[in-house]
Amino acid sequence: MLLSQHDGGERSDELFARAVELLPGGVNSPVRAFRGVGGTPRFIRSASGATMTDVDGRTYIDYVGSWGPMILGHADPEVIAALSEALLRGTSFGAPNELEVEIAEEIIAAVPSIEMVRMVNSGTEATMSAIRLARGVTGRTKLVKFEGCYHGHGDSLLVKAGSGVATLGLPDSPGVPAALAESTITAPFNDAEALERIFARHRDIAAVIIEPVVGNMGCVPPNDGYLQSVRELSRRNGALLIFDEVMTGFRVARGGAQELYDIHPDITTLGKIIGGGLPVGAYGGSKELMRHIAPAGPIYQAGTLSGNPLAMTAGLVTLRRLRDLSIYERLEQSSARLCEGISKAASAAGVQTITNRVGSMFTTFFTDQRVVDWTTANRSNRDMYGRFFHGMLAEGVYLAPSQFEAAFVGAAHTDEIIDRTINAAARALSIVNF
């Protein structure tokens, strides 16, 4: 028997009722609350490979992947074995360790623009630190970001930020000082002329920060030549270009989107995959730039748990496995087949959808227009997505509980799992219009 969309299962319902009295909204990150799709969030007990099992014993094929990090799958045996050994040596030292050096070498070898890297504890910390570096080096204050791009919850960045902000209907966030908001200029994604006009009006822009492939208004790829234009305009106007590759790094290619599109930003931020599922972030660039960071230089940034041996262990195992480029070939094939299958199922059900994909990240938008920016993404039918989400959940497939998030295929999604997902989508789409 299929559950109603408001029924999370007896144990999940009980836990959520307790959680709303203890945690804001019952969750520790907003999009988990199911506000964008309705119903009660599933509380997860365990995960393995391509699946997660909730506290009521129901197992789901997972396309959230902890929001991107689980490219090898949940509880990968090699990662778990390495972590088990690392735990016995201690969880945090507050002092340098060999693993920090090794993971830095791995990142620098893979990401084209990075010659030196600083490890931090989250993607938000990485983007905040990258912006401070850009402002410190240029002596300028203003920042350009793009509508629908989310770069963490730093004060300067919660302006037209897409993702969870859009899901909850919050245009900006109270608590952000007006002066900080005023220092952030927003531009439409995939519109180089708009960026050119901004540079013509503002001479004190320190940096342009961009998701080279957007994942936080759903997956939105750059138009042909767009990133090249952003690179050229930034350079010509003396602003540093920051690629936020927290999501795309080691995901769309081993060297990230900058490898895929052959663009060298000045600063790159990373996270998610480089921690193998543990909390992590990083930012890097040329040695000339990064030597401005303390203690090598005057721009301060520090972190108690930065480079901790657990995150470094999980990340190092993951990144070494991803030296095998055949993994990316399989991810490309699996993701293409899945997206094609969902699109065909939607067409057969008479449901208008557009599926955007870059590598192993994708989003199915419930719209009949190409999705190229926040304006076109925002025209998607949220109610239809909510019905699709709950239809897939009832079929045993866990998608992001928001129209405005990317989904992720991992190495653990076998051909058989992809087929099961396509068949589930066909059944779920058959009820979307009712």
Annotated catalytic sites, by residue? Answer: 150, 244, 272
Q: What's the CA gap between 360 and 331, in Å, rounded?
A: 6
Task: Describe the crossing of helices 326-348 and 415-429 by its angle, rounded to 10 degrees.
Answer: 20
Residue 292, judged by CB atoms within 10 A of its CB (0-12, 13-18, 19+), counts as middle
Distance (Å, whole) CA 31 – CA 262: 33
In this structure, the chain runs to a length of 434
Short-list 150, 95, 112, CA closest to 284: 112
Side chain identity at residue 431, one-letter code = I
Do β-strands 267-271 and 184-187 pair in parallel, antiparallel, or remain unpaired?
A: unpaired
Distance between CA atoms of 405 and 416, rounded to whole angstroms?
Answer: 25
Residues 6+ apart with CB under 8 A from 105: none
d(CA 201, CA 198): 5
Rounded CA-CA distance 50/92 in Å is 30
Cβ burial, residue 382 (10 Å; 0-12/13-18/19+): middle
